[in-house]
Structure 1
């Protein structure tokens, strides 16, 4: 026991970073009578690779954890017994129990060789799915993004893989990506800014845990993705490949009736082998991409040509190198370096943005990792590893100008660029495995030091909003069209700001930018926009996989997390705004699960359990609070009036009122969101090499992020305004507001607002009312290779309700009492999701693989097209204007009412008695069903024994079904509910929505 406590102490001191994949082999060695064989030698050797050796303990048990998934030979030797070898194929995340019975040896001992495929997991209650090496190698992957294969896993319920994550839009803090056991997730801001990329030829396989991880896994309240890189072997192996797409083989967008320009080449290769056989191996890979495409823009500027196409060039480089060293039978060391670069020379935020909003986008990522695994004794194994991960993105405007909004049209550079963010993370982790009788303990800790730095300049060049629309104008009896007026305002186009006509005193239309913006609002940013968020993340855990009896295993775990620095407790503001004073130091997460092997033969198990899981908090909220707090930087705004019209060239020259600003710091009592996960299911091995899984899962997220307007107070004598009190308020007394720049504002009438210095105080909060509820039935069927055929089916029936879409979600009623009304079907709510795959080797080197995906159509946000009531400023306006009644098309407006025609179901519009306003329901628009078939026809030529050449053609959306990813959600628009075109090949546009396209490929492998 002294050895145990000594190694445990070292384990807890060598704290480190991120997730362990928990891939390994355990088992029990016994004689033919069932008696345990102690001190038997167990060698676990990867086919063509490293070997690990241990001894059985007094109970005959052994454990070799932290292995690379793949094919292994387990050899068990004991004096007086016949040696037994067992071939095992392991997938990522599996820890199969390879129990061995040794016959008594005779005068001529024979070696018995069996072949066992790991089928049913009898040791873990985790709900997960694996993407096998054959899946990665043989199935068609649109865009060669490995994450496209995530839909093969039950529980992944999206129609499109966006932002390199297997979740939909509501994914902040709800997932992690781990490569070779350590975290590589970009966590500065929303995943839309990208995640690390890996070539499918650089990874061997990956696992997606959709529910109920053990205690060694943390910092995700939803799912975890474990990716494994390829390794070298005793035989030299490699590949050279090229994948080619061109718009000549693409179908037209069904709405735009145009083919997206595209010329895409993806190319690269791999090379691996031994430096010293059975001791030292290497592996390297490279993949590049050059894509020439076009941005199809439908600018809303009057007179602009529709469907303008702007050239776009995207270049991507992905690389990975790895070296493995087998120092002894007890020690294995490996190091890895990987990274990618991405450049897009011209990006538009959306298909209807004005060309002046184009920007240059880059992403850069690289990681270095080292791992040392040592078998200390037959009972103890220790694994220590560390890494350094760098992720950076830049969004730089192509022009420098003000951003000006005329009605629904915005012209000029993006208001929140330039944008440079850098994430540097040092990770250190230690896992200790201790085998004692029926207990298999996992103890350890980890430490991450994250430095989030960069530059985030917002409204630096000025932003004008609420300017009058550009419309036709009559001057001296001559009518000028809106297009002619726009041409006068921008004589040299919107992308040449020096020619913009602000004053325009001599033009024929007598219209100028200043005249249209005279009553608008102007915002100017100034001050310090540099980002610096240092974070220290700690975690400790203890996990016991306790085999109560031969057929029953309990998974018992407790994890503790703490993110020091994420709430920026040192920020003290002089303007009266309250910010967090402490971090969330109470993140204890108990977890319990069970696995019951019904017959004891490893063919049918019942599994289930429950646990708490804390989210990983993105730095974005803290970054905004550090910069946009009214002290570090200013976001001053002023609104023009009849007596002092706005002049965009000198907006603050003669203001009639002091400039005000909007701020968005963290709320004073924020906590880390967490989820309760519950699951129960069955896994069954069927005839013909098939495995069936069925699980019910429930996930309830608490204290999710949301933004609220803190400067609104409640007037109890006027219940029409059901607002959140930010201080004690008694009718007839003076409103008490924080000191400093925040004082009562009598100009707001019935709204008693602490906002003299601020237009809005949009603080980030984590109230208990904000969260989500997910329930699902997840079914999976996988058929292993037999008669040349493999296949899989993944089906999910689910429901998702939530009250917050993301940390930047702003409720329709921007106060705590309004969050209750936000509960509705979430944007990621999709009831039915089905993916079917098959791969069949025909004859003569021909093979056919296909992937069919069906999605019942997910929810989309809905809004109204009317002016918002005073005090409302939500992301999606769902409140009709004051004294406005929605009616169906053709209906008669009630006498004395002001009506507006709506085109959604009338049942989705209702009167909110608390405010007296009509509202429309959130996310009430469901998209059309999605059907997609992707196929690959491949011919393989083998020669020279170990060489082969592959030629193939892949068809994506083979039957050219019209699938859509965006819809018009404005209920007051006659085109409400109609899909919108997807005509850009730019990154960020999910490939799943595109019309049919073909890809040709050639590979040479050895």
Structure 2
């Protein structure tokens, strides 16, 4: 290409034109919309990061049970996902190991470590997505693991639409091996899309709507016939999206997009069914989300492009108990939707009555405003440089209502339920009908959460980042990918809150989170490239830390009273007096305050060192093979430890937490706090084969051989300890040795097509414990139960 030549690209479907001008070396850059373009390169010779693209054909035509488009991340080289739930993206899911970006807008929810969910997008609104398994460039961050970059569909110059239905039932299901009958199951999904021009070649729109309904039945199989009720309800998941693209000129375009989802589950399976609890354990969960996003792209001259991105998104998790509690003392301060909902929990040996999720009712959320600017330019200086610099700012606000043990818990210890248990609970879903007094002698204590703020709090966070990425073509064969990223945040560890004597207020934030990244791609010939590199990647941090610290720092206590011999202790634990206020609870004789999931001074944001070396080779015009050795060394991982313990200096064994005389602070009980002392190492050989569509078929396959170990530091590092008390390091949960995936699409002819996907994963490791005795890692004979030994 000659210097100074104007290059025009035309999207055939939308009619949009994009212009660029070649520089002195004949090189040009043009930012274009997603669409069909004819390209010949199959091997990337200028990038060292590991990424896989799930193309529109795979996204629309590969069969996936349930149609969750994120399930297709299993196709990517380097993916460690066996199955993607509707909630989380990664195995051993923890916030900070992955980020989801849609059209460049980061939408990942951080309100919980796992299980609270993520925003939902219709599969038919996604055009394609990229899975970056290792060493993404400096423009992306807040992940110590992977990035998922999705692009949504846009309209064209033709009015087009689709309507589809997908149906599943229990017709071919086997009998449940516990209740010995086929459980009712059905699932229906309906999807429609429509798009086209508002003004030909200039303005286009695309809209989608999807609705999923899944009736299901949760069963109880207790020893008490009247409690064995089937809980039948319908999970619904409606999702809607819209996008408008404006082409003001060949140099300026604007994208405006919105997304709404409203997932609702009437009976959360985590807290429903089984033989050890009753229907009063159940709760419904809702996960609504909203998003509005805009991106303005400008071509500046013949060597620069600037993108300004502004977004709003929110995500909430709401849990509402099924049981009714019309006379609960907290009803006066509860939100309208939570009034009269819930049940106290009663635990016996092997059995429980009352709600299983003791933090419900709750509504926890993340509201986020974001601003981002990306500037890309190119220049010649001892080779060709493609520079990318920019910055972003996110304001997050977390409105929380979480009723922590506000329904109360009766502890029956090792006592068994009485024979007449059913007669004491004529309506297991209505607390006002329960006769608890006869159970009084069976309970050791009663505890209840009491809040000075009505169980409400906020978790404000300010998050910023800046980066510089330079892809330097040193020679025609060698490209260096050089980057530096800086992250800073305020509020991730609730620095403004104090929980004395453990945590002072006004703690400083980390200001040294620099993440350098370096990589190379060396071209042996026009079909073979060797690539590799290393970098430092800081994770994001779950709101679990900040929200619980804000909660206890704002005034919350778990008040406990012991059984006093009264015949009506159960049901009347305060002996006719109103439930104490927060200030009154602090004066209860013998009260030992307990907290969990709080921050500690000097807490750090986790990070990882990611490294890889590998080779990619193209065969013919449509096939490529790659193999990479990958390492991810994660450091300063967060985990919880009771910090109000002391140990026997002779044996190194901790004194029991119930012995107040041995506690660090006798007026405190269990103080579970986060510490930055965990680490893990992931090593893998990751291989992939790709065959592009030609001669009416395409296919791809991946195979990964890996080992994943983790550990944490010793609670008493100066002592020589027995194995299970020291800094043990070994295979982690979710460690999986072998993983292989194959998929293919064949256009048979006459309008027919055959496609399929095959997945194989060797056994994963799970934690192992011994169910008897005081120490779950030790058997009665003193031998140690191996860590994570169940495969």
Same fold (TM over 0.5): yes
Please give the secondary structure, in 1, of the residue aligned with 2:368.
strand
Alignment of 1:94-173 (within 5 A): 116=40, 118-173=41-96
Please give the secondary structure, in 2, of the residue aligned with 1:250.
coil
1:722 deviates by 5.8
Shift of the 384–342 alpha-carbon distance from structure 1 to 2, 3 Å rule, reads same
Separation (CA, whole Å) in 2 of partners of 1:469 and 1:45:
76
Partner of residue 780 from structure 1, selected from 657, 677, 688: 688
Does the Cα contact within 8 Å between 2:43 and 2:616 map onto a contact in 1? yes
Separation (CA, whole Å) in 2 of partners of 1:758 and 1:412:
27
List runs of 5+ in structure 2 lacking aligned partners.
324-341, 578-586
1:283 deviates by 0.5
1:819 deviates by 7.5
1:187 deviates by 1.0
Partner of 2:707: 799
Separation (CA, whole Å) in 2 of partners of 1:443 and 1:273:
34
Alignment of 1:199-598 (within 5 A): 199-253=122-176, 257-299=180-222, 302-304=223-225, 309-350=230-271, 351-352=273-274, 353-399=277-323, 400-413=342-355, 414-437=357-380, 438-470=384-416, 484-490=419-425, 492-503=426-437, 512-517=438-443, 519-520=444-445, 522-528=447-453, 529-574=455-500, 577-578=503-504, 581-598=507-524
Separation (CA, whole Å) in 1 of partners of 2:229 and 2:628:
49
Does residue 1:680 correspond to 2:624, yes or no?
no
1:714 deviates by 4.2
Shift of the 636–575 alpha-carbon distance from structure 1 to 2, 3 Å rule, reads farther
Q: Deviations over 1:820-870 (max 9, x none)?
A: 54422111111111111122222332222111111111111111112325x
Alignment of 1:597-676 (within 5 A): 597-599=523-525, 601=526, 603-629=527-553, 632-640=555-563, 647-653=569-575, 657-664=589-596, 665-676=598-609
Does the Cα contact within 8 Å between 1:163 and 1:191 map onto a contact in 2? no
Please give the secondary structure, in 2, of the residue aligned with 1:550.
coil
Separation (CA, whole Å) in 1 of partners of 2:68 and 2:506:
40
Please give the secondary structure, in 1, of the residue aligned with 2:171.
helix
Aligned length: 749
1:161 deviates by 1.5
Shift of the 422–131 alpha-carbon distance from structure 1 to 2, 3 Å rule, reads same
1:646 deviates by 9.3
Partner of residue 61 from structure 1, selected from 16, 19, 27: 27
Partner of 1:836: 742
Shift of the 426–816 alpha-carbon distance from structure 1 to 2, 3 Å rule, reads farther
When Rg is computed on C-alpha atoms for both structures, the one with the higher figure is: 1
- Alignment root-mean-square deviation, CA: 2.6
Q: Deviations over 1:625-648 (max 9, x none)?
A: 11135x61111223447x789923
Separation (CA, whole Å) in 1 of partners of 2:148 and 2:555:
38
Separation (CA, whole Å) in 1 of partners of 2:625 and 2:89:
22
Shift of the 47–815 alpha-carbon distance from structure 1 to 2, 3 Å rule, reads farther
Q: Deviations over 1:354-378 (max 9, x none)?
A: 2111112111111111111111111
Separation (CA, whole Å) in 2 of partners of 1:793 and 1:254:
36
Please give the secondary structure, in 1, of the residue aligned with 2:482.
strand
1:783 deviates by 1.4
Separation (CA, whole Å) in 2 of partners of 1:635 and 1:534:
25
Separation (CA, whole Å) in 1 of partners of 2:215 and 2:399:
32
Q: Deviations over 1:528-581 (max 9, x none)?
A: 221211111110000100000001110000000011121222113455544671
1:814 deviates by 10
Does residue 1:52 correspond to 2:34, yes or no?
no
Separation (CA, whole Å) in 1 of partners of 2:761 and 2:787:
21
Q: Deviations over 1:394-427 (max 9, x none)?
A: 1011112211111122211231101101211111
Shift of the 688–305 alpha-carbon distance from structure 1 to 2, 3 Å rule, reads farther
Shift of the 814–496 alpha-carbon distance from structure 1 to 2, 3 Å rule, reads farther
Q: Deviations over 1:748-781 (max 9, x none)?
A: 56xx3123222111111112xx121111111111
Please give the secondary structure, in 2, of the residue aligned with 1:549.
coil
1:45 deviates by 2.4
Please give the secondary structure, in 2, of the residue aligned with 1:495.
coil
Partner of residue 70 from structure 1, selected from 2, 10, 35: 35
Does residue 1:754 correspond to 2:678, yes or no?
no
1:291 deviates by 1.7
Separation (CA, whole Å) in 1 of partners of 2:33 and 2:154:
9
Does residue 1:878 correspond to 2:777, yes or no?
yes
Please give the secondary structure, in 1, of the residue aligned with 2:215.
strand
Separation (CA, whole Å) in 1 of partners of 2:716 and 2:61:
50
Separation (CA, whole Å) in 2 of partners of 1:574 and 1:209:
43
1:686 deviates by 1.7
Partner of 1:41: 6
Which segment drifts farther, 699-708 or 567-576? 567-576
Partner of 1:934: none
Partner of residue 703 from structure 1, selected from 636, 639, 644: 636
Separation (CA, whole Å) in 1 of partners of 2:410 and 2:514:
48
Does the Cα contact within 8 Å between 1:833 and 1:854 map onto a contact in 2? yes
Q: Deviations over 1:474-502 (max 9, x none)?
A: xxxxxxxx6x4322332x14223223222
1:163 deviates by 4.2
Separation (CA, whole Å) in 2 of partners of 1:259 and 1:124:
53
Shift of the 357–593 alpha-carbon distance from structure 1 to 2, 3 Å rule, reads same
Does the Cα contact within 8 Å between 1:236 and 1:274 map onto a contact in 2? yes
Separation (CA, whole Å) in 2 of partners of 1:797 and 1:417:
42
List runs of 5+ in structure 1 lacking aligned partners.
1-28, 30-36, 73-86, 89-115, 472-481, 504-511, 725-744, 805-810, 870-876, 887-908, 911-919, 927-1006
Separation (CA, whole Å) in 2 of partners of 1:218 and 1:668:
25
Does residue 1:851 correspond to 2:773, yes or no?
no
Please give the secondary structure, in 2, of the residue aligned with 1:401.
coil
TM-score, normalised to structure 1's length? 0.71
Separation (CA, whole Å) in 2 of partners of 1:248 and 1:254:
16
Partner of 2:338: none
Partner of 1:922: 787
Separation (CA, whole Å) in 2 of partners of 1:384 and 1:259:
55
Q: Deviations over 1:614-669 (max 9, x none)?
A: 0011112110111135x61111223447x789923333559995222311321111
Please give the secondary structure, in 2, of the residue aligned with 1:143.
coil
Please give the secondary structure, in 1, of the residue aligned with 2:18.
strand
Partner of 1:186: 109
Does the Cα contact within 8 Å between 1:408 and 1:469 map onto a contact in 2? no
Q: Deviations over 1:705-725 (max 9, x none)?
A: 111111123453x3333689x
1:185 deviates by 0.5
1:166 deviates by 3.7
